[in-house]
Chains A and B, each alone.
Chain A
């Protein structure tokens, strides 16, 4: 009986990863290729993404849905940025600049600003915000991942995740200000 139940568990895990791969392998590969323009590097990125996803399968509840599809695309996209930046010897965040930011030290945007932002076209923010910043905010606030989960998935350190989120929020605030939304208070 125990062996039978174990087999069912194994099959579930195996099927999930297999189904993910079978459903989205093309999307993953094309996303990586579109950034890197190199088949070998694109293949490496997809392999890396699969390895990282296989350790975090619990976060994926439904396979055939747009939310899962974009989740995989965002992960592959950011892993591709890492490879691209390494190739170009560019680092999004220099290690010397990295400072640990506690969770509580999130930048809170002012209520007036947020209210105003709902009346504006969201695309305006999306277009102006650096894509890796947008993606990290998406993983944190839309997919509700922990810092550790994000760092594991994107192959970056926890500190880098903290700093990226902090910078993304700062940039977002600047964009909102530029869009003409005034605010008076700061925390």
Chain B
């Protein structure tokens, strides 16, 4: 018995396949001849109506199932595409926002604005949940300026998280805001493009920022941190600050 090479085996395999294909072809041909003979032999036999009815019912059912399956697969297919497109859009938007200065600034401004709006809403909600608007007369342990510029009167006063806020207004509706909080409280002063002056208020260190028409004064004593802001000049704001008295 000789050993066949791979090529010989391949050749033999193909010869086999050809032979078997030929065999199948003849068998298929015979099947057709057989069925022709059977049709002739059983020409009087009709296919039962029940079989036809079954078929049309079955066909309807498989079409319904097919449609259902197709619908689900299409949904999956399109949802995947939409998700992929969304991811691409987010990535592209992120790249554009981060790479173009003007877009980046606009985007962050939008975020900051949104954040401010949210804070505003939050305060309103807190108000509804029990934040009290109180008159200064009901307060205790607070500072009040003995001096105020002409025509300025207390227009609003409130307490939020142990920080007291007072707003004084004049006849022109110009405001001076006076805030006093605990020593641990923190404030951020917008000093960009402003003149910054370090000074002493009643012997305590403070910072005065003058930016366009607005003056902002920030200082503290041994008890509290103070913050005054208003469209007033340097002398006036210092005078107000120095005039505060504990009530």
A residues engaging B (CB < 8 A)? 2, 6, 9-10, 13-14, 17-18, 21, 25-27, 29-31, 33-34, 39, 43, 46-47, 50-51, 54, 66-67, 69-71, 73-74, 77, 106, 108-111, 114-115, 117-118, 122-123, 125-126, 134-135, 137-143, 172, 185-187
Q: Is there an interface contact between A187 and B32, defined as CB atoms closer than 8 Å?
A: no
Q: A17-B62, A141-B24 are in contact. Are A30 and B50 (CB under 8 A)?
A: no
Q: A30-B35, A43-B48, A185-B1 are in contact. Are A74 and B28 (CB under 8 A)?
A: yes
CA distance A185 to B41 in the complex (A): 47
Q: Is there an interface contact between A134 and B66, defined as CB atoms closer than 8 Å?
A: no
Q: How far is the CB of A179 from chain B (nearest CB, A)?
A: 13
CA distance A139 to B25 in the complex (A): 10
Q: Is there an interface contact between B42 and A33, defined as CB atoms closer than 8 Å?
A: yes
Q: Is there an interface contact between A30 and B42, defined as CB atoms closer than 8 Å?
A: yes
For the A-B complex, the count of residue pairs with Cβ-Cβ distances under 8 Å equals: 147
- Give the residue of B9, B26, B32, B55 whose beta carbon is less than 8 angstroms from that of A25: B55
Q: How far is the CB of B20 from chain A (nearest CB, A)?
A: 4
Q: Is there an interface contact between A70 and B32, defined as CB atoms closer than 8 Å?
A: yes
Q: Give the chain A neighbours of B34 by CB distance below 8 A.
A: 73
B-side interface residues, number (CB < 8 Å) = 49
Top 6 A-B pairs ranked by shortest CB distance? Answer: A142-B24, A141-B20, A138-B24, A70-B31, A70-B28, A138-B27
CA distance A47 to B52 in the complex (A): 10
CA distance A50 to B54 in the complex (A): 11
Q: Is there an interface contact between A137 and B42, defined as CB atoms closer than 8 Å?
A: no
CA distance A26 to B74 in the complex (A): 37
Closest to A18 in B: B59
CA distance A45 to B62 in the complex (A): 18
Q: Is there an interface contact between A138 and B28, defined as CB atoms closer than 8 Å?
A: yes
CA distance A10 to B50 in the complex (A): 25
A-B contact pairs, 17 of them (CB 8 A): A14-B63, A25-B52, A25-B55, A30-B45, A31-B38, A47-B54, A47-B55, A54-B58, A54-B62, A66-B29, A70-B29, A70-B32, A73-B32, A122-B22, A138-B23, A138-B28, A185-B2
B30 at the binding interface (Cβ < 8 Å): yes
Q: Is there an interface contact between B26 and A122, defined as CB atoms closer than 8 Å?
A: yes
Q: Give the chain B neighbours of A109 by CB distance below 8 A.
A: 15-16, 19
- Give the residue of B15, B30, B58, B63 whose beta carbon is less than 8 angstroms from that of A13: B63
Q: Give the chain A neighbours of B48 by CB distance below 8 A.
A: 29, 39, 43
Q: Is there an interface contact between A187 and B4, defined as CB atoms closer than 8 Å?
A: yes
CA distance A29 to B47 in the complex (A): 7
Q: How far is the CB of A58 from chain B (nearest CB, A)?
A: 13
B83 at the binding interface (Cβ < 8 Å): no
Q: How far is the CB of B23 from chain A (nearest CB, A)?
A: 6
CA distance A26 to B43 in the complex (A): 10
Q: Give the chain B neighbours of A39 by CB distance below 8 A.
A: 48
Q: Is there an interface contact between A34 and B23, defined as CB atoms closer than 8 Å?
A: no
CA distance A181 to B16 in the complex (A): 15
B51 at the binding interface (Cβ < 8 Å): yes
Q: Give the chain B neighbours of A29 by CB distance below 8 A.
A: 45, 47-48, 51
Closest to A39 in B: B48
CA distance A172 to B27 in the complex (A): 14
- Give the residue of B24, B45, B51, B70 whose beta carbon is less than 8 angstroms from that of A137: B24
B117 at the binding interface (Cβ < 8 Å): no
Q: Per-residue 0/1 for B1-20: is the Cβ within 8 Å of any A Cβ (1 yes, 0 no)? A: 11010000101110111111
